[in-house]
Homo-oligomer: A and B are copies of this chain.
Amino acid sequence: MSVARPAGQQTVRRHNLGLVLEQIATGRGRSRAQLAHATGLTRTTVSALVDELVATRLVSELAPDRGSRGRPGSPLVLNPNGPAGLGIEINVDYISACVVDLTGAVRSRRTTITDNRLGTPRAGLRRALRLAEQVRADVDLPVAGVTLALPGLVDDDGVLRRAPNLPRWEGIDAAPALSEALRLPVGVDNEANLAALAELWFGDALPDFMLVSGEVGVGAGVVLGGRLFRGTRGLAGELGHVVVDPSGPRCGCGANGCLEQIAGQEALVRKAELAGAISTSTADPNGAVAQLVALASAGDARVLQVLSEAGTALGVALAAAVNVLDFPVIVLGGLYAQLGRWALESLSTELDQRVISHGWEPLDIRISTLGADAAVRGAAGSVVQGVLALPL
């Protein structure tokens, strides 16, 4: 149980401050009077709260909005020059960083291609730090904090506990070094979780969904009620190791028939090779994925077969997730944002068959509209959301 916390007037103030700020953030350019109506507070109170938000530079007031009857209200918007968030993503074969302002706009973004499997984590972190300093210098904004996205399981303390595709990084606690160098608070989170948040904040803005992020591994981020679902210890969403076929191939995690071994990037490429559709795997993996996209677009039957089988496997794993968690929307991201359209049919066939609520509760499958930078944007966005959630 969480420790008992008494409520006082400050609690009320904080709550209402958050309420008003949320309304300003969602509906753009509303006046004090409109905010009062939307929140149920009085105009007097809203005015006082807004004054406070303006004083802390979170909100700015635009010129009055002529055209309607009566005295025009002054539109209130999130201050685009207020505290911003810095996001860093260290992935298997690239590093990116970006700055997102309070309104959610990306103000700067840089990427470096580099194979992080090769160098030491120390070297990788130095590179990431340089990139972060560059994007920070690109903009003239106060940066409130940093979030780092990593491709693996991150525990509550920010330590990367498991990263099958970046094994040298396991056990790394990256936050302290970054925090000291940048002189900012640093958070760390799983790449799929942050991509899911990006989907929530910058994508379709649905409150309940699972984002399936296919990369070399298969991860998932779950958003329920507009909040990231982390589970008891922050390890929720490990879809990649749900069993699809107990007699399937052995996985790095020690078990057999994990989804990742059947529908992960390497499995797809390998199967396409075996089917003779693409050439040997000595080519870089991104090239192989591009080849798959091209061939599928051209209607190559062998590739389509591979993708259809991947859809079936995804369906088995996702059906288990839907039955256990109960969410109404699946968003395909990462690798599957590119390849998912050819797996959709077998995926939804499988889901229809295996999801127990099928028939009276619709299950929607979408393809992510965000590009490959979902995770960095989510990382930077999570800093901004943190500022908005605690408007001290």
Contact = CB atoms under 8 A, between A and B. Distances in A.
Contact of A38 (B4, B16, B231, B244): B4
B39 A6 contact: yes
Interface stretch (A67-75, A232-240, A331-339): A232-240
Interface string A45-80: 000000000000000000000000000000000000
Interface stretch (A137-145, A275-283, A356-364): A356-364
Interface string A231-264: 1111111111111111000000111000000000
A121 B203 CA distance: 46
Contact of A161 (B161, B242, B360): B360
A238 B317 CA distance: 14
Contacts of A240: 356
A372 interface: no
B326 A1 contact: no
A342 interface: no
In which size bucket is the chain A interface? 35 or more
A243 B355 CA distance: 10
Contacts of A238: 323-324, 326, 356-357
Contacts of A7: 11-12, 15-16, 19
Given A12-B8, A235-B361, A254 B353 contact: yes
23 contacts: A5-B19, A5-B40, A6-B39, A7-B11, A7-B12, A7-B19, A161-B357, A208-B232, A224-B231, A225-B232, A230-B326, A232-B326, A232-B328, A234-B326, A236-B324, A241-B319, A241-B356, A242-B320, A243-B244, A246-B316, A255-B354, A320-B320, A320-B321
Interface of A: 1-2, 4-9, 11-12, 15-16, 19, 22-23, 38-41, 153, 161-162, 207-208, 220, 222, 224-226, 230-246, 253-255, 316-317, 319-321, 323-328, 353-354, 356-357, 360-361
